[in-house]
Amino acid sequence: MQTEAYITIKNLITRFMIAVFQDNMVVKLEEHPEMKFIWAEVSYFAMWWGSQTLEQQLVVKKLLKNGQLEIVTGGWVMTDEANAYYYSILEQLILGHEWLKLNLDYKPK
């Protein structure tokens, strides 16, 4: 029981920290057009994206379009460098790219 509570609390804290971080990223990029930011894992971005207003989503799409925000690789998660399996690498890349295309009409460079 303690383990389940720990995992739930850890997940809540992780989600909160991601939200704070990404919310601030959008604010700072809007304030400073000369700044650029890259993001790697689509899974965390997707969690944050679902809680954003339409207005905020449009701002993020604008940041992606003008190159201030870049999503690198576009994988759902970052590939394990030490023990990667070919099928899992492709699967998570396809999942991430599909999400980006469907939700942001974005293709990583």
Q: Which CATH superfamily does the domain covering 2-104 fall into? A: Glycoside hydrolase 38, N terminal domain (3.20.110.10)
User: Which three-class secondary structure state does DSSP give residue 37?
Assistant: strand
CB atoms within 10 A of CB 20: 11
User: Which three-class secondary structure state does DSSP give residue 9?
Assistant: helix
Query: pTM for the complete prediction?
Result: 0.79
Paired tokens of 48: 């944050």
Which residue in the block uniquely carries the two structure tokens 């990583």? 108
Domain ranges in the chain are 2-104
The predicted-structure confidence for 38-91, as pLDDT tens digits, reads as follows 998 999 899 889 888 899 999 999 999 999 999 999 999 988 777 788 898 999
